[in-house]
Amino acid sequence: MRVPARIYASRTLLEKALTDKSIEQLVNATTLPGIVGYAIAMPDVHQGYGFPVGGVAATRLPDGVISPGSIGYDINCGVRLLASDIYADEIEPHLDTLATALYQNCPSGVGQGGRFRLSDKELDQVLAEGAHWCLSRGLATNDDVRHAEETGRLRGADPARVSKHARDRGRDQLGTLGAGNHFLEVDQVTAIYDEEAAEAYGLRLGQVVVLIHCGSRGLGHQVCTDYVRDFQKALQRYHIQLPDRELVCAPLNSPEGEAYTAAMQAAANFAFANRQVLAHLVRETFEQVFAGTGLPFDVRQVYDVAHNIGKIEWHTVDGQRMQVCVHRKGATRAFAPGSDEIPPDYRAVGQPVLVPGSMGTASYVLAGTQGAMEQTFGSTCHGAGRNLSRTAAKKQVRGEELKQRLSHQGIRVRAGSMRGLAEEAPVAYKQVEEVIEVVEGAGIARAVARLEPMAVIKG
Ligand code: 5GP
Ligand code: MN
Ligand code: MN
């Protein structure tokens, strides 16, 4: 171990984490060349490819490594929160229509294509400009890009570093949800914990909001696949020894490391644009359903966060200011009040952090804190985290039954696959409240609002 490992957990969550390989993977991550501080596990941790989901590792520039497996296959998987001006009791009579319309208008399912089939030139633009590409196409507003991590665009992206195969997989997938863990959800705000932050974010009790969870689709997956393979050769070249080949990495300042960084940023931009187009489709759907009902159909963007990404940031480590690559895999940036990276209207209260729980329980909006800057490279949890593997969940749950049960709770479900639905059942995830309690207790985030599901769209 080059640095210690630090685990954020309660007793129950720690016991849970010890039942899979996540802590072993965390210890493995402490051997990454150039890692500083400590490798971190969030309370929602579970085992992943080489590096745990719910893990954070910062490596020092210029010669520390970047590791694709420590960022994840779904590059810039993330969450976007949209807020309407409709209240839960007002939407109730329209909920079935809305759920069906969202399912029809927002393409979902494995490998599913969308409204666009991008030419090479357009794809290059999306990869370079992310959500900003959507501005000129009438698919985004200035307010949208202002209210997003990095304004929905990473500047170092280089489309030329993305393979033809990756491009072909993504070409028709802009504005699609995908399947599995990804979802689009209509929620209501059921609790406010921090009045000041909620007001800044524009959140009110009873308000209807929309959560979008998805990433870079086949394109990002292929970028990760390509570089995991290429990096195997780099290990020998740079004399890197690792306890697990899945942790493959290359120095940030090597040609391989630079190529992956630029490709990863391009894939991240694809994901930002993907969630942006989905937000646009949600807007169109609200207008379609609510125009003429007397209800307002405006939908405002609260924020958009990445939770699978590598970011070049400045942090203080052992009293020393340094530039690092923060690998966040199943972890969310949670910058403290005052940061320049936060939009001016949120700056006084901290960065919004979006933490989905499950389709049958609750999700949370948190705010970033000074504690996160000091302890976790400005990071916090990203979800409830898995409790059961997909296979175990499928053994315990039948999709149709789950859909019925949720419907009795008033939650409308529209899903392409009942088996897929079972894999994502609420029992497949940990108790999100326990996760939130740990991050709040440790001071690495502050609870702002609780959201509860009204309608869930799944691939
Ligand atoms: P991941 O990106 O790691 O797969 O998922 C992020 C988190 O989303 C999971 O840890 C889980 O807590 C949450 N989640 C999964 N499915 C749903 C859903 O249908 N609705 C909500 N609100 N959260 C979900
Ligand atoms: Mn995700
Ligand atoms: Mn994902």
Encoded amino acid at 25, one letter: Q
The Å distance, Cα 231 to ligand 2 centre, comes to 24
Q: What's the 364 CA to ligand 1 centre distance in angstroms?
A: 11
Total number of domains constituting the chain: 1
pLDDT at 327: 99
- Is there a domain that residue 41 lies in? yes
State which ligand 1 atom lies nearest to the alpha carbon of 453: 22
Domain assignment present for 181:
yes
Per residue, what are the HEC states of 75-88?
CCCEEEEEEEEEEH
**Is residue 382 flagged as an active site residue?**
yes
Contact 360, 425 (CB under 8 A): yes
Torsional class of 371: left (φ above 0), alpha (ψ -120 to 50), beta (otherwise): alpha
* Catalytic one of 94, 147, 382, 408: 382
Q: Which residues of the chain have pLDDT under 70?
A: none
Distance from chain centroid for Cα 400: 27
Rg (CA), the chain: 20
Q: Is the CB of 310 under 6 A from ligand 1?
A: no
Cβ atoms of 76 and 256 within 8 Å: the answer is no
- What pLDDT digit, counting tens, does each position of 289-341 carry? 999 999 999 999 999 999 999 999 999 999 999 999 999 999 999 999 999 99
Closest ligand 1 atom to residue 456 Cα is 19
Is residue 406 in a domain? no
Q: Does residue 185 line the site of ligand 1, with CB under 6 A?
A: yes
Domain membership of residue 291 as a residue range: 5-387+429-458
The verdict on residue 405 lying in a domain is no
Vertex 113 angle, CA 169 and 143, to 5°: 95
Domain annotation covers residue 306? yes
Residue of 53, 82, 213 to mutate, ligand 1, most atoms within 8 A of C-beta = 213
Q: How far is the CA of 230 from the centre of ligand 3 (A)?
A: 23
Q: What is the CATH classification number for the domain harbouring 348? A: 3.90.1860.10
CA of 19 to the centre of ligand 1 (A): 20
The answer as to whether 30 is a domain residue is yes
217-255 residue pLDDT tens: 999 999 999 999 999 999 999 999 999 999 999 999 999
pLDDT of residue 181: 94
Alpha-carbon distance of 351 to 339, in angstroms, equals 8
Strands of 34-89 (E only): list them. 35-46, 53-60, 65-66, 78-87
Q: Is 359 in the pocket of ligand 1 (CB under 6 A)?
A: yes
Q: Work out which ligand 1 atom sits closest to the CA atom of 357.
A: 12
210 lines ligand 1 (CB under 6 A): no
Is the distance from CB of 53 to CB of 445 less than 8 angstroms? Answer: no
Task: Report if residue 94 sits inside a domain.
Answer: yes
Is 414 inside a domain boundary? no
pLDDT in tens, 182-206: 999 999 999 999 999 999 999 999 9
